[in-house]
C-alpha cells in the first residue's frame, strides 16, 4: 500500500525520494547508522559538519540531558574534508541517497576553500553551510547573527561552487527572516532551520557549569515550537525551499513542519533516542497520505490554514 503514495519533493535542482533527511552532527558520516536504518530509503543524508582540517572539538563533558531535550557542546569534532572524501565518501557513493556535506569554518576564506574542494567531488549532491560558527575576524561573533556578514559569506561560497547551496540558519537572532532574505539574495538555493538554541545548565552542588564549554546548543522536543514558528515565518519571507529542523521525533512532528511550509525536514536528536526514527517517519508520512486520501506529499507543503 505504501508505494501508492508519492513522497518526492524538490529542493531546488535536487529531487528527493522523500522529504526526510538526517540533521548534521546526529548521524555521523552515515555508515554508523547502517545497522539500524536502510540508508537507501532516506531522502538525503547530511553528514556531520566538516572543516578544512580535522578537529578534536571541545573537552568533556560535552553533552547534558535537559527537560525534553539535550545540550551539546561537541565543538564540531570531525575528521576534516580530506579524510572524509578519502575514507567515508566511497561508502556513501554506493548508496542511491543524495549526500549533503555540512561545512563550517572560522573565516570566510576557510568556507571558500571548502566549497571549492567539494565542487569537484562526485557523490556530494549539495553543500549545507553552517553559519552558526564564530567568525574569528569578528571577535568570535557567529556569522549567522548579522545579515550583512552572513550574506558576504554565502556570496563567497556561491562563487566557488556550482553545487546547490543550502544555508543552515541560526535561531540565536532577533529576526530570522532578515537573515534568510539576505542569504537568499546572496545566492542560497535553499535554507535549513533551525540550528541549536544556545543554553546552559548548572550543577548546583558543585556550583559549576555542567558543560566544560559552559554554554551549549539546545536540541530536541524542547525547541520544536520555536523551530516551527521560525520555519513558518521564513517560508513566507523567501521564495526558495525551506528545510525544517528542530525537535522532530515522529511523523506527526514532521507533518507540522511540512504544513507550516517546509519542503523537507531533518531529524536530529531523535536519532539518539531511536536510531530507526527516520525510517519510521517516512512510513508515517505515507500512512498519513493514505489515511487522508492524498496522492502526493506536495499537497501538504505549506497547506496551513490560518
Ligand X SMILES: Cc1cc2nc3c(=O)[nH]c(=O)nc-3n(C[C@H](O)[C@H](O)[C@H](O)COP(=O)(O)O)c2cc1C
Nearest to 126 by CA among 234, 247, 21, 272: 21
- If the CB atoms of residues 5 and 270 are measured against ligand X, the closer one turns out to be 270
8 Å CB contact between 77 and 122: no
> b/e per residue, 120-151, with b = 16+ CB within 10 A?
eeeebbbbbbbbbbebeeeeeebbbbbbebbb
Let me know if 67 is exposed, middle or buried by CB neighbors in 10 A (0-12, 13-18, 19+): exposed
Candidates 68-76, 90-98, 108-116, 182-190; binding stretch for ligand X (CB under 6 A): 68-76
133 noted as active-site residue: yes
61 phi and psi, to 5 degrees? Answer: -70, 140
Nearest to 216 by CA among 232, 202, 197, 230: 197
Tell me the window of 28-36, 146-154, 177-185, 263-271 that interacts with ligand X (CB under 6 A). Answer: 263-271
Phi, psi of 16 (to 5 degrees): -105, 145
| C-beta closer to ligand X: residue 30 or 49 | 49
Q: Does 48 bind ligand X (CB under 6 A)?
A: yes
- 245 binds ligand X, rule: CB under 6 A: yes
Q: Is 168 in the site for ligand X (CB under 6 A)?
A: yes
Contacts of 131 (CB under 8 A, 6+ apart): 142, 143, 144, 150, 153, 154, 167, 168, 169, 170, 183
Grid cell at residue 141: 561573533
**Residue from 196, 263, 278, 286 that binds ligand X (CB under 6 A)?**
196
Q: How many residues bind ligand X (CB under 6 A)?
A: 25
Closer to ligand X by CB, 97 or 195: give it. Answer: 195
Least distance between ligand X and beta carbon 204 (Å): 24
- For residue 13, what are the CA distances in angstroms to 45, 125, 130? 16, 10, 20
In the set 133, 149, 234, 277, the catalytic residue is 133
25 binds ligand X (CB under 6 A): yes
Q: Per the structure block, which three cell numbers stand in for 199?
A: 543554553
Residue closer to ligand X (CB basis): 108 or 193:
193
Site for ligand X in 209-238 (CB under 6 A): 219-220, 223
Task: State how far the Cα of 158 lies from the Cα of 164, in Å rounded to an integer.
Answer: 9
Footprint of ligand X on 108-137 (CB under 6 A): 130
Q: Which of 72, 135, 166, 263 binds ligand X (CB under 6 A)?
A: 72
Which residue is nearest to ligand X, using beta carbons? 25
Stretch of residues binding ligand X (CB under 6 A), selected from 89-97, 105-113, 268-276, 281-289: 268-276
Question: Any contact of residue 24 with ligand X (CB under 6 A)?
Answer: yes
Stretch that binds ligand X, among 70-78, 173-181, 203-211, 256-264 (CB under 6 A): 70-78
Q: What angle do CA 141, 188, 112 make, to 5 degrees?
A: 60
Among 19, 30, 43, 49, which residue interacts with ligand X (rule: CB under 6 A)? 49
Phi-psi region of 90 (alpha: psi -120 to 50; beta: other; left: phi over 0): alpha
Which amino acids are annotated catalytic? Answer: 133
Q: Which residues bind ligand X (CB under 6 A)?
A: 23-26, 48-49, 72, 74, 76, 102, 130, 168, 195-196, 219-220, 223, 245-248, 267-270
Amino acid at each position: 500500500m505504501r508505494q501508492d503514495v508519492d513522497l518526492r519533493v524538490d529542493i531546488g535542482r535536487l529531487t528527493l525520494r522523500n522529504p526526510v533527511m538526517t540533521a548534521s552532527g546526529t548521524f555521523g558520516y552515515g555508515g554508523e547508522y547502517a545497522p539500524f536504518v536502510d540508508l537507501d530509503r532516506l531522502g538525503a543524508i547530511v553528514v556531520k559538519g566538516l572543516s578544512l582540517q580535522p578537529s578534536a572539538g571541545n573537552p568533556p563533558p560535552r553533552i547534558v540531558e535537559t527537560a525534553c531535550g539535550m545540550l551539546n557542546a561537541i565543538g564540531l569534532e570531525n575528521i576534516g574534508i580530506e579524510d572524509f572524501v578519502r575514507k567515508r565518501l566511497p561508502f556513501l557513493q554506493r548508496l542511491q541517497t543524495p549526500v549533503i556535506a555540512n561545512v563550517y569554518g572560522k573565516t570566510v576564506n576557510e568556507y571558500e576553500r571548502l566549497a571549492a574542494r567539494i565542487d569537484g567531488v562526485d557523490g556530494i549532491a549539495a553543500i549545507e553551510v553552517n553559519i552558526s560558527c564564530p567568525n574569528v575576524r569578528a571577535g568570535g561573533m557567529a556569522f549567522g547573527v548579522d545579515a550583512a556578514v552572513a550574506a558576504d559569506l554565502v556570496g563567497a561560497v556561491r562563487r566557488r561552487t556550482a553545487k546547490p547551496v543550502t544555508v543552515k540558519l541560526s535561531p540565536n537572532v532577533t529576526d530570522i527572516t532578515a537573515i534568510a532574505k539576505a542569504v537568499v539574495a546572496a545566492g542560497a538555493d535553499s535554507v535549513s532551520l533551525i540550528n541549536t538554541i544556545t543554553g546552559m545548565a548548572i550543577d548546583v552542588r558543585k556550583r559549576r557549569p555542567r558543560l566544560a564549554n559552559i554554554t551549549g546548543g539546545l536540541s530536541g522536543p524542547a525547541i520544536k515550537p520555536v523551530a516551527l514558528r521560525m520555519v513558518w515565518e521564513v517560508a513566507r519571507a523567501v521564495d526558495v525551499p525551506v528545510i525544517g529542523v528542530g525537535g522532530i521525533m515522529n511523523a506527526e512532528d514532521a507533518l507540522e513542519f511540512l504544513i507550516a511550509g517546509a519542503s523537507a525536514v531533518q531529524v536530529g536528536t531523535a536519532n539518539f533516542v531511536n536510531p530507526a526514527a527516520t525510517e519510521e517517519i517516512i512510513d508515517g508520512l505515507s500512512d498519513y497520505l493514505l489515511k487522508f486520501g492524498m496522492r502526493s506529499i506536495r499537497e501538504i507543503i505549506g497547506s496551513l490554514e490560518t
